């Protein structure tokens, strides 16, 4: 350790990652997240900071010569057993101790409130941010509140069955965990905590390309019969993309969700500003790479902006998995997707993180169903999903009434995981199950097949000026964007 500690400058920078010692001096200027984050752990064990962002196999991108040694395994094990807890982990545990007990969470917004305490400011900024003025982010919630329910009474609702099928696979309710990058930023178990929560509650999980766990870790954690899908960011390098798809298929993923709304990552200013604050005092870092880009942009520079409709047959030619396009945002593109012969689409604005003032997923769903019908696309030819702002069982009901097979959720489960690990994920999903059962009972729809367009009044969903009663829970939790502070 003393030897490693003597290489702690930008001219000579060694870092320990997963018990191996790397000379990162030449990599500093090429690191997409900037040199400063590496220099922060120069001469030390940087595993905790590395693992929060990267899967363990990410070190394979370094040339072999970068590895200058390995910690003696016995000494490394003894060090881990006796060593003080990593300072960042220590801080995390202190923050977790301040969270309310899990039993005090009664709705999905309660998890968001707990996560504001549990997460580091950097992780909070990355998870919670939306793009530009965050108008689409807020409208994802508000759009559900512009849709009103039309309950039916005198229906026998003694037994309510909320189970369904997603891409032909059974699910305990019409819900899947959508792909969200960088799980270990919120919890040391990362995406695996979501895998465990999904297994306990019997819903599918979509694995992100940019997970902080490796594909092997996430698929090894799968329980018997558990369903996982794979979310794909298409890289410039076709061979690399093909390898990702084959690996996902070989490892048992049951559907390929190609993200189509991110040829460039949106400007997420909370994330960018946090990165700037983090790095600003590091006077010794004269590299500008990634300096104020935020976590999101730093990890996504490989995404190919050239992805186009003509590429669909190529995906078909290399996989047997059903193909679903994630991030369709208008009726015209829904029709194009149907004509392209994909198996499904997700109406989504990426949790309000891409094009600001793009419509919410629920609004795009209503528009797309009408457009598909007008274009003569037979209902059921293509499965429809939506995500963005789903926080209540009644939101799931509204999406189903408008034509969705199921909905995805992102942030609420990241928040539940960050504050309470997989127990939190399970409780959050159970809350949605309870709320959906109650909604279906009060709506007079004992099964998901009974839910019909006539159960909702969605006339106002695309009217953005309508006033709706204040949603005090999510409003109170929303942290407005801030301007830079003056030096005086
Ligand atoms: C922190 C975070 C990371 C995300 N990462 C990805 C990603 O890597 N790929 C992707 O297709 N979508 C990603 N998304 C979008 C989600 O899959 C989903 O569309 C969105 O979170 C749904 O909105 P909700 O958070 O309101 O539930 C991410 C969302 C968040 C909040």
Q: pLDDT tens track of the chain, all 488 residues?
A: 888 899 999 999 999 998 889 999 989 988 877 888 899 899 988 888 888 788 888 888 888 889 999 888 877 777 677 666 778 888 999 999 999 999 999 999 999 999 999 999 999 999 999 999 999 999 999 999 999 999 999 999 999 999 999 999 999 999 999 999 999 999 999 999 999 999 999 999 999 999 999 999 999 999 999 999 999 999 989 999 999 999 999 999 999 999 999 998 899 988 888 876 655 444 333 344 444 556 666 666 678 899 999 999 999 999 999 999 999 999 999 999 999 999 999 999 999 999 999 999 999 999 999 999 999 999 999 999 999 999 999 999 999 999 999 999 999 999 999 999 999 999 999 999 999 999 999 999 999 999 999 999 999 999 987 676 778 788 888 988 888 777 76
CA pair distance 480, 137, nearest whole angstrom: 12
Q: What is the pLDDT of residue 276?
A: 62
Of the residues 33, 65, 92, the one at which a domain ends: 92
Judge whether 294 lies within some domain.
no
Tokens read off for 218: 């996430």
Ligand 1 mean position, distance from CA 385 (Å): 14
Judge whether 271 lies within some domain.
no
Identify whether residues 76 and 222 lie together within a single domain: no
Identify whether residues 312 and 332 lie together within a single domain: yes
Tokens read off for 449: 């097949």
Assess whether the C-beta atom of 410 lies below 6 angstroms from ligand 1.
yes
**Nearest C-alpha to atom 3 of ligand 1 is from which residue?**
180
Instruction: For a ligand 1 pocket test, name from 125, 180, 389 the mutation site with the most ligand atoms within 8 angstroms of its C-beta.
Output: 180
Ligand 1 mean position, distance from CA 75 (Å): 40
Ligand 1 mean position, distance from CA 343 (Å): 21
Coil, strand or helix: which one is 359? coil
Judge whether 488 lies within some domain.
no
Assess whether the C-beta atom of 403 lies below 6 angstroms from ligand 1.
no
Q: What is the pLDDT of residue 78?
A: 72
- CA-based torsion, 345, 457, 467, 141: positive or negative: negative
Ligand 1 mean position, distance from CA 72 (Å): 40
**Nearest C-alpha to atom 10 of ligand 1 is from which residue?**
179
Residues whose CB is less than 8 angstroms from the CB of residue 156 and which lie 6 or more positions away in sequence, other chains included: 446
Assess whether the C-beta atom of 388 lies below 6 angstroms from ligand 1.
yes
CATH number at residue 38: 3.10.120.10
Overall number of domains in the chain: 2
Assess whether the C-beta atom of 10 lies below 6 angstroms from ligand 1.
no
Identify whether residues 198 and 251 lie together within a single domain: yes
Instruction: For a ligand 1 pocket test, name from 179, 229, 231, 395 the mutation site with the most ligand atoms within 8 angstroms of its C-beta.
Output: 179
Identify whether residues 27 and 175 lie together within a single domain: no
Q: Are 28 and 10 in contact (CB under 8 A)?
A: yes
Identify whether residues 74 and 120 lie together within a single domain: no
CA pair distance 244, 36, nearest whole angstrom: 30
CA atoms within 13 A on the CB side of 3: 8
Assess whether the C-beta atom of 46 lies below 6 angstroms from ligand 1.
no
Helix/strand/coil percentages in the chain, nearest 5: 45, 15, 40
Ligand 1 mean position, distance from CA 358 (Å): 15
Nearest to 477 by CA among 102, 114, 177: 114
Four-CA torsion 32, 34, 39, 44, nearest 10 degrees: -30
Tokens read off for 70: 């390995």
Judge whether 373 lies within some domain.
yes
Of the residues 33, 63, 92, the one at which a domain ends: 92
Judge whether 410 lies within some domain.
yes
Judge whether 284 lies within some domain.
no
Q: What is the pLDDT of residue 320?
A: 97
Identify whether residues 377 and 229 lie together within a single domain: yes
Coil, strand or helix: which one is 99? coil
Q: What is the pLDDT of residue 298?
A: 64
Q: Length of the chain in residues, anyone? A: 488
Judge whether 483 lies within some domain.
no
Angle at 28 between CA 24 and CA 32, to 5 degrees: 120
The residues carrying an active-site annotation are 233, 261, 350
Beta-bridged to residue 176, according to DSSP, are: 408
Q: Which domain holds residue 64?
A: 2-92
Instruction: For a ligand 1 pocket test, name from 54, 129, 362, 411 the mutation site with the most ligand atoms within 8 angstroms of its C-beta.
Output: 411
Identify whether residues 216 and 194 lie together within a single domain: yes
Identify whether residues 63 and 212 lie together within a single domain: no
Which single residue is written with the structure tokens 């003597």?
A: 6
Identify whether residues 88 and 117 lie together within a single domain: no
Q: What is the pLDDT of residue 281?
A: 42
Alpha helices in 8-148 (DSSP H): 36-39, 47-53, 73-82, 87-97, 108-118, 121-128, 135-145
**Nearest C-alpha to atom 4 of ligand 1 is from which residue?**
180
Ligand 1 mean position, distance from CA 371 (Å): 26
Assess whether the C-beta atom of 208 lies below 6 angstroms from ligand 1.
yes
Nearest to 185 by CA among 119, 231, 230: 119
Assess whether the C-beta atom of 128 lies below 6 angstroms from ligand 1.
no
Q: What is the pLDDT of residue 63?
A: 85
Beta-bridged to residue 257, according to DSSP, are: 231, 324
Judge whether 484 lies within some domain.
no
Ligand 1 mean position, distance from CA 158 (Å): 36
CA pair distance 476, 479, nearest whole angstrom: 8
Identify whether residues 386 and 348 lie together within a single domain: yes
CA pair distance 20, 477, nearest whole angstrom: 42
Assess whether the C-beta atom of 360 lies below 6 angstroms from ligand 1.
no
Four-CA torsion 298, 299, 301, 306, nearest 10 degrees: -140
CATH number at residue 406: 3.20.20.70
Report DSSP state, residue 46. Answer: -
Q: Which atom of ligand 1 is nearest to the CA of 126?
A: 1
Ligand 1 mean position, distance from CA 167 (Å): 20
Tokens read off for 166: 């997603």
Q: Which atom of ligand 1 is nearest to the CA of 389?
A: 26
Q: What is the pLDDT of residue 465?
A: 79
Identify whether residues 369 and 235 lie together within a single domain: yes
């Amino acid at each position: 350790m003393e030897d490693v500690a003597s290489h702690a400058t930008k001219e000579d920078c060694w870092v320990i990652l997963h018990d191996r010692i790397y000379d990162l001096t030449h990599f500093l200027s090429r690191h997409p997240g900037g040199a400063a984050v590496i220099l922060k752990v120069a001469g030390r064990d940087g595993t905790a900071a590395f693992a929060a962002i990267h899967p363990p196999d990410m070190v394979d991108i370094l040339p072999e010569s970068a590895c200058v040694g390995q910690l003696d395994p016995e000494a490394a094990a003894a060090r881990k057993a006796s060593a003080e807890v990593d300072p960042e982990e220590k801080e995390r545990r202190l923050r977790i101790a301040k969270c309310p007990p899990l039993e005090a969470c009664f709705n999905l917004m309660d998890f968001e409130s707990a996560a504001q305490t549990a997460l580091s400011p950097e992780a909070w900024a990355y998870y919670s941010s939306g793009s530009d003025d965050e108008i689409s982010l807020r409208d994802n919630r508000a759009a559900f509140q512009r849709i009103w329910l039309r309950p039916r009474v005198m229906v026998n609702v003694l037994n309510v069955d909320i189970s369904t099928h997603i891409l032909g696979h059974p699910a305990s309710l019409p819900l899947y965990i959508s792909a969200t990058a960088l799980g270990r930023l919120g919890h040391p178990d990362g995406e695996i905590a979501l895998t465990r929560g999904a297994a306990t509650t019997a819903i599918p999980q979509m694995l992100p390309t940019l997970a902080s766990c490796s594909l092997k870790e996430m698929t090894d954690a799968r329980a018997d019969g558990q369903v996982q899908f794979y979310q794909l960011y298409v890289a410039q390098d076709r061979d690399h993309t093909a390898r990702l798809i084959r690996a996902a298929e070989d490892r048992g993923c049951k559907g390929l969700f190609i993200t189509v709304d991110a040829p460039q990552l949106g400007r997420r200013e909370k994330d960018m500003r946090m990165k700037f604050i983090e790095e600003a005092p590091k006077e010794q870092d004269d590299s500008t790479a990634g300096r104020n880009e935020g976590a999101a942009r730093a990890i996504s520079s490989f995404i190919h902006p050239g992805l186009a409709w003509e590429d669909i047959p190529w995906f078909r030619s290399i996989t047997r998995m059903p193909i679903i396009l994630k991030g369709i945002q208008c009726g015209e593109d829904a029709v194009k997707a149907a004509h392209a012969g994909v198996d499904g689409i997700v109406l989504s604005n990426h949790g309000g993180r891409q094009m600001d003032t793009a419509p919410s997923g629920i609004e795009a769903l209503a528009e797309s169903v009408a457009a598909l019908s007008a274009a003569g696309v037979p209902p059921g030819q293509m499965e429809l999903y939506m995500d963005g702002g789903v926080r209540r069982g009644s939101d799931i009901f509204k999406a189903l009434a408008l034509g969705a097979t199921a909905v995805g959720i992102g942030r609420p489960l990241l928040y539940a995981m960050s504050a309470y690990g997989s127990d939190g994920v399970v409780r959050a999903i159970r809350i949605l199950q309870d709320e959906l059962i109650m909604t279906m009972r009060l709506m007079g729809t004992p099964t998901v097949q009974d839910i019909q367009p006539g159960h909702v009044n969605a006339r106002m969903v695309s009217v953005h000026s309508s006033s709706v009663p204040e949603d005090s829970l999510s409003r109170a939790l929303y942290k407005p964007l801030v301007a830079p502070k003056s030096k005086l």
